[in-house]
Structure 1
Amino acid sequence: MSTHEEHVLVIPASVIDEIGVIDGFESDIDRFLGPILQSDLLSYRPRSAMEVDPRFKQLIPYVVLEWTDASGRPHVFAYTRGGGGGEERLHAKRSIGIGGHISREDAADGKDAYATGMQRELAEEIQLDAQYTETREGLIYDPSNEVGQVHLGVVHRFVLDSPQVASNEVDLAEGGFVSIDALREQHEQLETWSQLALDALYGHVG
């Protein structure tokens, strides 16, 4: 068994609290994300400790892949989380977010750790062969459960020119593009972050 433990990028909760309150989806991303990414209190800490310490928030890029079909109907890439190397507490939940932790190795050679980590996670989890435009849409913080209490999601939207996406991992089962209407019908099966992102980007169920 390897003795190496992943160190992940975290920000003290107090830094966020000084900026304002995030409860659910926060669309004013620049207000929060700029100061967070520029803070000298960002650090890399052992993942196992951070998973149970709400004094720190792990920064998680959460990428929503959107494609519009020929009739103008938007679709989003969705999958069912497996129980392998990912977050076991989210096992069997449906998700529309691709991404994961930013690791200390992502900062090697002076690279932008956040951007490098996001692209690394995407490459690990999916095969993306489409061209796309990217926007940052908001932040997600959901303290109502153990997973949410220690993570801060940064929601990115990739608007693809074709549906050329495939899962690379067994932990991303049943991956494929699903219409917004169908996702709304699956709302209760989605993990909390996906519910919040779906409602914020595409409107609430109703």
Structure 2
Amino acid sequence: MNEKVLVVPASKVDEITKGLEGVIEVEYSLVKNLITRFGTFIDRDLVENDESFRQVIPYVIMKQDGKFLVLRRTNKQGEKRLHNKISLGVGGHINHNDGKDPWLAFLNGMQREIEEEVKAKILDLKYFGVINDLSSSVSRVHVGIAFIADVLFEKLNEPEMFEYSWCALEDLEKLLQEMEGWSYIVFQWLRKHTQR
């Protein structure tokens, strides 16, 4: 059986983002409404290249002691288009096993993705926007729901998938050329909104 992933119509994402790109500070209630009303589960193979849908991805930025978790994807990581890229976010696809109700599946799936990738105690989790990026074939079929989490980090749960480090905001600038698209976009938002 093919993996079924949570998707929403691209046209509905365009409505709430007003067609803007970057981290769009959409009200959380609109995101919840989008997923609750229009979220559905479709075979991942069918939507990987279908730009009429956006696969919903929670994207959680982890922060500890004023530094941000930086993940470098290894060649063993599943998404070939992102190998060796740097990611600032933890998260992934939401699938039908996360729950029948799209919104509960999103919340459960976000928790599952965090637990799959890292062992960390989340002290605080705040939503900050929708990542809307139309610049690449990967990003045009995904939409990010961005959060920042203050954490007590213990370890990576998938050390074969990622290498990690912790960086202060100013040190992230040195990594811009290696960042995946969403991380670059999130970095721009962090630089604008984070006090140094």
1:60 and 1:120, CA in 2 relative to 1: closer, same or farther beyond 3 A? same
Unmatched tracts of structure 1, length 5 or more: 69-73
| Partner-residue secondary structure (3-state), 1:146 | coil
| Correspondence list, 1:36-75, <5 A | 36-39=34-37, 41-68=38-65, 74-75=66-67
1:7 and 1:180, CA in 2 relative to 1: closer, same or farther beyond 3 A? same
CA-based RMSD of the aligned residues comes to 2.1
Note if 1:141 corresponds to 2:132: yes
Post-superposition offset of 1:37 = 1.9
Distance 1:109 1:92 in 2: 34
Distance 1:201 1:29 in 2: 18
Q: Is the 8 A contact 2:71 2:164 kept in 1?
A: yes
**Which of 169, 174, 179 is matched with 1:180 structurally?**
169
Q: Provide Cα deviations, 1:61-117, integer angstroms capped at 9, x if missing partner.
A: 00000112xxxxx20001111222421101100111000011001015998111100
1:138 and 1:188, CA in 2 relative to 1: closer, same or farther beyond 3 A? same
Unmatched tracts of structure 2, length 5 or more: none
| Correspondence list, 1:15-94, <5 A | 15-19=12-16, 20-30=18-28, 32-39=30-37, 41-68=38-65, 74-94=66-86
Structure-2 residue corresponding to 1:169: 158
Q: Is the 8 A contact 1:84 1:171 kept in 2?
A: yes
Note if 1:8 corresponds to 2:5: yes
Q: Provide Cα deviations, 1:125-167, integer angstroms capped at 9, x if missing partner.
A: 1111x3410100111111110100000001110012x4x2321
Distance 1:110 1:98 in 2: 20
| Partner-residue secondary structure (3-state), 2:155 | strand
Structure-2 residue corresponding to 1:196: 185
Note if 1:104 corresponds to 2:96: yes
| Correspondence list, 1:122-161, <5 A | 122-128=114-120, 130-160=121-151
Distance 1:109 1:166 in 2: 31
TM-score normalised by the chain length of structure 2: 0.90
Bigger Rg, structure 1 or 2? 1
Q: Is the 8 A contact 2:127 2:147 kept in 1?
A: yes
User: Which deviates more from structure 2 when the two are superposed, residues 25-34 or residues 96-105?
Assistant: 25-34
Distance 2:15 2:192 in 1: 30
Distance 2:173 2:55 in 1: 28
Q: Is the 8 A contact 2:57 2:93 kept in 1?
A: yes
- How many residues are treated as equivalent by the alignment? 192
1:94 and 1:106, CA in 2 relative to 1: closer, same or farther beyond 3 A? same
Aligned sequence identity (%): 31
Q: Which runs of 4+ in 1 moved over 4 A?
A: 108-111
Q: Is the 8 A contact 2:72 2:162 kept in 1?
A: yes
